[in-house]
């Protein structure tokens, strides 16, 4: 059963995160067509992306607590239902900008919890020596989903309504897989049993998990983990939102060419998850994370200077090879918190970062309007550098390096 479970988690997690990526990516892919069809401004387009990421941030915090309190499986099913329905409904909202904003926010409420839930699921079902590779293997579905979104966009656009409708309806595939084939995490269930037993002996309920990530040694890693995620995601969301516009507006590519470049960009990202999965298991997630962030900062500067279409074509997958930090953060954050607050701690760092980064499309739209998209990319490179500085302040050792009793003692201290 345990062997079957871990493979269902890996396969189901891949499907879930692939569709998570599809729903996040289709807005950026469709934004030029949405703006042309509805007449919204660059600022209003940026606001659509911002409310999406605000919903993702709120959801990530809430779903982390729900997943640690009520279970990984239940939280994952709720997430899938919400973002699938909201994405499909967006197809019919073109007549009202306010409705478009509301549906993107609701969709974000479903999308935000997936990352931390899957990272926790893998950490609780796979052996320590292969968790980095499996976590990154599961999260490697993000570029697959982003490439799929670009391909769907290339097929349907400028009919953006069809893009959102079919991508929303297709979420039924991972939903059914999770419902029928993935049970609750046994390690989470055991953790709940231990905490309930402790509460019964002491007469006091366990402390609220969200408070525990600010206690003792965990406070420092919560602060710097949140800073690292905030800087990295701020720069990445700007890149994710405006890369199609940069290629079409500043570099004069057609919609078909832009879709092709985005697909190649995501091919590089897909490959990076497997390359860095091996690297992380050999040298540690923290070192791999520093290499990833430094590499993407360097490539952004190079990409901003390139003007030739052929050069840009080949640079796209090379830059994508370093866009792996999101998966590395998932693997790393899931190791530095004990199991009973694993999703809460990882989700807090990552999703507060998402909340801060939600304003990235608006702020970078101002930079792009005043100075051009190339300058905006250089600013993003500098922000990735700040993320590196924050990671350097995080602990070198993770849960894999600590004694096996560490998690039990941490829970026992709460009883």
Q: Please state the rounded mean pLDDT for residues 195-211.
A: 56
Confidence of residue 243 (pLDDT cuts 50, 70, 90): confident
pLDDT of residue 269: 85
Domain residues for 42? 2-184+209-405
Is 384 inside a domain boundary?
Answer: yes
Q: pLDDT tens for residues 61-72?
A: 788 778 888 888
Is 190 inside a domain boundary?
Answer: no
Best mean pLDDT range from 261-270, 351-360, 377-386: 377-386
SS (H, E, C) the chain: CHHHHHHHHHHHHHHHHHHHHHHHHHHHHHHHHHHHHHCCCHHHHHHHHHHHHHHHHHHHHHHHHHHHHHCHHHHHHHHHHHHHHHHHHHCCCCCCHHHHHHHHHHHHHHHCCHHHHHHHHHHHHCCHHHHHHHHHHHHCHHHHHHHHHHHHHHHHCCCHHHHHHHHHHCCHHHHHHHHHHCCCCHHHHHHHHHHHHHHHHHCCCCCCHHHHCCCCCHHHHHHHHHHHHHHHHHHHHHHHHHHHHHHHHHCCCCHHHHHHHHHHHHHHHHHHHHHHHHHHHHHCHHHHHHHHHHHHHHHHHHHHHCCCHHHHHHHHHHHHCCCCHHHHHHHHHHHCCCHHHHHHHHHHHHHHHHHHHCCHHHHHHHHHHHHCHHHHHHHHHHHHHHHHHHHCCCCCCCCCCCCCCHHHHHHHHHC
Structural domains in the chain (count): 1
Q: What is the mean pLDDT of the chain?
A: 83
Is 251 inside a domain boundary?
Answer: yes
Confidence of residue 8 (pLDDT cuts 50, 70, 90): very high
Q: pLDDT tens for residues 207-234?
A: 446 788 888 888 888 999 999 999 999 9
Is 335 inside a domain boundary?
Answer: yes
Q: Please state the rounded mean pLDDT for residues 362-370.
A: 83
Is 410 inside a domain boundary?
Answer: no
Is 204 inside a domain boundary?
Answer: no
Q: pLDDT tens for residues 293-322?
A: 999 999 999 988 888 888 888 888 999 999
CATH number at residue 21: 1.20.1250.20
């Amino acid at each position: 059963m345990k062997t079957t479970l871990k493979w269902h988690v890996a396969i189901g997690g891949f499907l879930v995160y692939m569709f998570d990526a599809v729903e996040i990516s289709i807005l950026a892919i469709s934004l030029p067509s949405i703006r042309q069809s509805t007449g919204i401004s660059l600022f209003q387009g940026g606001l659509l992306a911002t409310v999406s990421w605000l919903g993702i941030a709120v959801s990530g915090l809430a779903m982390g607590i729900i997943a640690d309190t009520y279970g990984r499986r239940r939280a994952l099913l709720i997430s899938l239902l919400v973002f699938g329905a909201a994405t499909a409904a967006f197809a019919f909202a073109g007549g009202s900008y306010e409705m478009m904003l509301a549906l993107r926010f609701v969709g974000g409420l479903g999308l935000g919890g997936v990352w931390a839930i899957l990272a926790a699921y893998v950490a609780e079902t796979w052996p320590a020596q292969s968790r980095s590779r499996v976590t990154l293997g599961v999260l490697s579905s993000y570029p697959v989903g982003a490439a799929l979104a670009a391909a769907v966009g290339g097929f349907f656009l400028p009919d953006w309504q069809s893009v959102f409708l079919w991508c929303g309806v297709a979420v039924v595939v991972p939903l059914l897989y999770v419902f029928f084939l993935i049970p609750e995490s046994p390690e989470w269930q055991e953790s709940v049993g231990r905490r309930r037993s402790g509460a019964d002996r002491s007469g006091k309920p366990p402390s609220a998990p969200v408070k525990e990530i600010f206690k003792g040694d965990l406070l420092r890693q919560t602060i710097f983990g949140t800073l690292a995620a905030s800087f990295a995601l701020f720069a990445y969301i700007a890149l994710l939102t405006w890369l199609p516009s940069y290629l079409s507006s500043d570099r004069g590519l057609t919609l078909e060419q832009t879709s092709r470049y985005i697909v190649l960009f995501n091919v590089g990202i897909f490959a990076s998850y497997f390359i860095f999965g091996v690297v992380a298991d050999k040298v540690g997630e923290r070192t791999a994370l520093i290499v990833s962030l430094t590499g993407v900062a360097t490539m952004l500067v190079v990409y901003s200077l390139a003007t030739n279409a052929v050069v840009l074509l080949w640079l796209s997958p090379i830059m994508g090879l370093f866009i792996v930090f999101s998966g590395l953060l998932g693997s790393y954050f899931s190791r530095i918190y004990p199991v009973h607050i694993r999703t809460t701690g990882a989700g807090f760092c990552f999703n507060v970062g998402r909340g801060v980064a939600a304003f990235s499309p608006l702020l970078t739209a101002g930079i792009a309007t005043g100075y051009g998209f190339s300058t905006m990319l250089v600013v993003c490179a500098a922000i990735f550098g700040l993320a590196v500085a924050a990671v350097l302040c995080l602990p070198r050792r993770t849960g894999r390096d600590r004694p096996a009793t560490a998690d039990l003692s941490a829970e026992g201290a709460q009883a």
